[in-house]
Amino acid sequence: MNRTLSRLIQSSFIGIAFLLCQQTSQSASSSINTNAATQNAEDQYKLGGAYYRGEGVKQSYEQAGFWWRKAADQGNHKAMHNLGLLFLDGNGTPRNEVEGYRWIKMSADAGDPLSQFLIGTLLIQGRGVSKNTNEGIAWIKKSADAGNANALAKLGQDYYFGDDGLPKDLSKAVPLIKSAAEKGNPWACQTLGLLYLRGDGVPKDDDESSKWLTKSHQHGN
């Protein structure tokens, strides 16, 4: 496997986490605006997402943060996660990685697998918090146990290369990579395809290789 490509894909995991959390079940509407004004946290979260994407309203990171903060203050963990990402990226607010970590950690503590994965990544990178690889891996394992595809892929990658304090162990890497691929993680699909192509940890199988490489392309890799 091309290690440089693997690193580039790994570095994109935070961006993937942000995009996934932006998805909501409906676009902005006058009913959401009205309900948000009555302090409904879920509607405030949705309205923040509408402002972030510019759906039905003029796009504004500042307004997205305003409504996500209202929802987060009421305990909405999705809003906590997104508000934290605004601080991490400096969108609509001065960049503040410590504040970003704080909000995402609250969402992780509430049990959100996506936030747990991101907290683990931030701990490993030392962004917004002192670097702590062991604690970071523990959070990523918790997210993987909950089925988060990015966390499964990250652990699979670490076991494949022997990174982040984990031993190089193909017998542990392959099942994790397979699980992540089955959930649609593009890196895992590509990697699984290459494993089948080379017979690395799995039986060599050109048909399976082609299937997973095609899925990787379909998922945007």
Annotated domain spans of the chain: 1-146, 149-221
- Which tokens is 109 given? 């503590």
Gap between the Cα atoms of 211 and 178, Å rounded: 13
Q: Is the pLDDT of residue 145 over 80?
A: yes
Residue 36: its pLDDT value, please?
64
Residue of 16 and 81 predicted with greater confidence: 81
pLDDT tens, residue by residue, 103-118: 999 999 999 999 999 9
> Exposed, middle or buried, 151 (CB in 10 Å: 0-12/13-18/19+)?
buried
The CATH architecture assigned to 149-221 reads: Alpha Horseshoe (1.25)
**Do the domains spanning 1-146 and 149-221 agree at the CATH topology level?**
yes
Q: What is the CATH number of domain 1-146?
A: 1.25.40.10
pTM of the model: 0.84
pLDDT tens, residue by residue, 155-196: 999 999 999 999 999 999 999 999 999 999 999 999 999 999
Task: Give the angle subtended at the CA of 41 by the CAs of 46 and 144, to the nearest 5°.
Answer: 75
